[in-house]
Amino acid sequence: MPQSATWSDDERRQFVDDGVLIRRGLVHGTVLSKARELVGGWLNEAYNPAQLTAYTERSFAPELEEHPDLLALYQRSGLVELSGDLLRPATTAGVTRAQIQIRLPHGAQQPVKAMHVDGVSCPHLEPRDLRTFTFIVGVVLEGGATADAGALHYVPGGHHRMASHFAEDWVLGQPAQTPDDIDAQDGIAFTAEPGDVVVMHHLVPHRVGINTSSTPRVMAYFRVSHAQHPDLALRALSDPWLEYPVLAALARPGTV
């Protein structure tokens, strides 16, 4: 059955509370199979082990980031419409590149990612560089069926804590990524099948560890920004709903 191109009231409330929404099997058919073949082919033929740290910090298959078969995961699956619905009546900036993140199998030596929010105090950027966005969309291409198979782990509701951290304890330029109470958490695993999709508020802290399974865990991520994000980015760190006009009303106690 085709999935709805809008979010239900329950899903909106869940996003306000948890900062995360999951749609199982949203991406399927040739859109999914072409992307899987493309990244699988790259892994077999073009992967350079000497670049593992750079791939892990930025993106695997960087030469494919604008490939139509990867962009189709976002543009031809209903995700453009779902993304627009989350921000309406504001509009989204166009998504023009995919990030591929692979957790190699068999417990391969690969840098783990501790709890963090993206684009703030990244290890590979100067501390003052903000590279934030409004929410991220992740599409599972391979693996990730169990928590120890390189699954993304996230802290549901952690966006509330991060917003107060950014409001009260943080200054632009500091190197620490997340407060100690967030660092101490394991988070819950997004265990998934190919075609499953996770949509995560930018402020939700997340991490990823090694993959002890025999299957590579492959995700394609798309960073979605409010059209005015460059002007809103700093304030959005401490106001989680600044860029979400409809959700702002839901999040305000007593307004619904």
Ligand X SMILES: O=C(O)CCC(=O)C(=O)O
- Residues of this chain that interact with ligand X (CB under 6 A) are 101, 113, 118, 152, 206, 208, 219
Closest CA to 112 of 145, 158, 151: 151
Closer by beta carbon to ligand X, 152 or else 251: 152
What count of other Cβ atoms lies within 10 Å of the Cβ of residue 153? Answer: 18
Question: Would you state the torsion angle of the CA atoms of residues 57, 62, 64, 68, taken in this order, to the nearest 10 degrees?
Answer: 50
Closer by beta carbon to ligand X, 166 or else 190: 190
> Cα-flanking dihedrals φ and ψ of residue 70, to 5°?
-85, -45
Residue 114 C-beta: closest distance to ligand X, Å: 10
Distance between CA atoms of 87 and 186, rounded to whole angstroms? Answer: 29
Residue 84 C-beta: closest distance to ligand X, Å: 24
Q: Which residue is nearest to ligand X (CB)?
A: 101
Which residue's entry shows tokens 């995961």? 73
Closer by beta carbon to ligand X, 187 or else 240: 187
Closer by beta carbon to ligand X, 78 or else 150: 150
Residue 8 C-beta: closest distance to ligand X, Å: 26
Closer by beta carbon to ligand X, 149 or else 208: 208
Residue 196 C-beta: closest distance to ligand X, Å: 13
What count of other Cβ atoms lies within 10 Å of the Cβ of residue 255? Answer: 8
Residue 46 C-beta: closest distance to ligand X, Å: 19
Residue 32 C-beta: closest distance to ligand X, Å: 17
3-state secondary structure of 86: helix
Neighbour-count burial for 33-70, b at 16+ CB within 10 Å, e otherwise: ebbbebbeebbeeeeeeeebeebbeebbbeebbebebb
Residue 137 C-beta: closest distance to ligand X, Å: 12
What count of other Cβ atoms lies within 10 Å of the Cβ of residue 231? Answer: 10
17, with CB counted inside 10 A (0-12, 13-18, 19+), is middle
Closer by beta carbon to ligand X, 79 or else 219: 219
Closer by beta carbon to ligand X, 55 or else 241: 55
DSSP H helices in the chain = 9-18, 29-45, 52-57, 68-75, 79-87, 158-168, 180-183, 229-236, 245-251
